[in-house]
């Protein structure tokens, strides 16, 4: 009798679990597996919620103090049209007696100007989220599925590809407003005046000629266009980072739809 019991127990240990499940248990398993499948509505809702969160988080990151200035990936530097200022700083150093004073004075106003450029971008970033969210609402199911199965930054790439022109138009007035508000215009005037003063020095003019540099007599650049372009690019960079975090760890977010969509098999099947 004991030998029969042992054989019976061994048999059940060797038989696959699926062969001994009751029909009720199988139904429960099937129902559970079916519940993991995503509907079109789930995919769109999950992507929109994820992008909403990414837009909010990117806006917060970009708008904080030194959000741009302290981030090497997105910090605004001197516009290309104003690079002659940097050349003039270097050349001025070689001028006897007055060179250090002239170059340090020009460098000081240059540094202040660059800071205000970043402050304008930071101020504009605080108003970026609603602009991005308006673009997110136009997402189709085809777009959403492509994003879900795309790379780690597919959603950000989608937004950049589909909305850059429209966002530029919407974002530029904000940047223009912030340029005046944080003092970019006044610092630019101070920079231009200082540049003209240094260029007007006869010794500096001789040094510039000896260096073979063809520096402009006056500075000219499109500040609103520059700040708008750099601010938008910075926001895309920040959103890319937030999107990557969501994809890598959807369980860290409070919304069930994000966990369901980004934790799904569909999200794990990447397009090649």
C-alpha span between 73 and 77 (Å, rounded): 11
Least confident of 28-37, 136-145, 250-259: 28-37
Q: What DSSP letter does each residue of 219-252 carry, written as one string?
A: ----HHHHHHHHHHHHHHHHHHHHHHHHHH-GGG
C-alpha span between 174 and 197 (Å, rounded): 33
| Residues 73/75/80/86 CA torsion (nearest 10 deg) | -110
Instruction: Tell whether the model's pLDDT for residue 239 goes beyond 60.
Output: yes
Is the torsion defined by CA of 27, 30, 36, 42 positive or negative? negative
Q: If pLDDT is split at 50, 70 and 90, which confidence band does 87 have?
A: very high
Residue 208's closest CA among 86, 88, 105? 88
**pLDDT score recorded for residue 225:** 93
**pLDDT score recorded for residue 15:** 42
**pLDDT score recorded for residue 24:** 52
Instruction: With 0.75 as the threshold, say if the pTM is over it.
Output: yes
Report in angstroms the alpha-carbon separations of 90 from 103, 146, 208.
7, 50, 10
* Percent of the chain whose pLDDT exceeds 70: 85
What secondary structure letter does DSSP report for 40? H
The residue ranking higher by pLDDT, 114 or 13, is 114
**pLDDT score recorded for residue 29:** 35
* Cα angle, residue 224 at apex, residues 222 and 228 outer, rounded to 5°: 120
C-alpha span between 190 and 89 (Å, rounded): 15
Report in angstroms the alpha-carbon separations of 179 from 9, 78, 113, 125.
80, 15, 11, 13
* Residue range 92-109, pLDDT digits in tens: 988 887 888 889 999 999
Instruction: Tell whether the model's pLDDT for residue 34 goes beyond 70.
Output: no
**pLDDT score recorded for residue 44:** 92
Chain centroid offset of residue 269 CA: 25
Q: Kindly state the tokens that stand for 27.
A: 């139904």
Q: List, as own/partner pairs, every contact residues 149-155 make where C-beta atoms lie below 8 angstroms and the sequence separation is at least 24, other chains included.
A: 149/266, 149/267, 149/269, 149/270, 149/271, 150/270, 150/271, 151/270, 152/243, 152/244, 152/247, 152/248, 153/240, 153/243, 153/244, 155/47, 155/50, 155/51, 155/54, 155/239, 155/243
**pLDDT score recorded for residue 162:** 80
**pLDDT score recorded for residue 266:** 72
What mean pLDDT value characterizes the chain? Answer: 84
N-terminal to C-terminal alpha carbon distance within the chain: 61
Instruction: Tell whether the model's pLDDT for residue 194 goes beyond 50.
Output: yes
Q: Is there a contact between 188 and 223 (Cβ–Cβ < 8 Å)? A: yes
Residue 50's closest CA among 271, 267, 250? 250
Q: If pLDDT is split at 50, 70 and 90, which confidence band does 9 have?
A: very low
């Amino acid at each position: 009798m004991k030998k029969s019991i042992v054989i019976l127990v061994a048999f059940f240990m060797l038989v696959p679990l699926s062969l001994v499940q009751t029909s009720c248990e199988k139904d429960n398993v099937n129902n559970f597996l079916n519940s993991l499948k995503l509907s079109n509505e789930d995919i769109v809702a999950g992507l929109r919620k994820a992008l909403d969160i990414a837009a909010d988080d990117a806006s917060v990151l970009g708008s904080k103090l030194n959000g741009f200035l302290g981030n090497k990936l997105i910090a605004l530097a001197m516009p290309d049209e104003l690079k002659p200022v940097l050349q003039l700083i270097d050349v001025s150093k070689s001028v006897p007696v007055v060179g250090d004073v002239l170059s340090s004075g020009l460098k000081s106003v240059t540094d202040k100007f660059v800071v205000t450029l970043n402050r304008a971008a930071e101020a504009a970033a605080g108003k970026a989220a609603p602009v991005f969210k308006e673009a997110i609402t136009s997402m189709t199911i085809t777009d959403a599925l492509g994003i879900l199965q795309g790379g780690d930054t597919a959603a950000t790439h989608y937004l950049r590809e589909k909305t850059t022109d429209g966002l530029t138009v919407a974002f530029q007035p904000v940047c223009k407003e912030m340029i005046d508000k944080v003092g970019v215009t006044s610092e630019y005037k101070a920079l231009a005046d200082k540049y003209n003063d240094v260029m007007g020095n006869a010794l500096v003019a001789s040094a510039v000629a000896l260096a073979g540099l063809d520096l402009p007599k006056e500075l000219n650049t499109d500040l609103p266009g520059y700040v708008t372009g750099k601010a938008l690019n910075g926001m895309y960079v920040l959103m890319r980072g937030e999107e990557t975090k969501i994809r890598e760890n959807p369980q860290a977010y409070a919304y069930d739809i994000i966990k369901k969509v980004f934790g799904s098999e569909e999200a794990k099947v990447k397009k090649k």
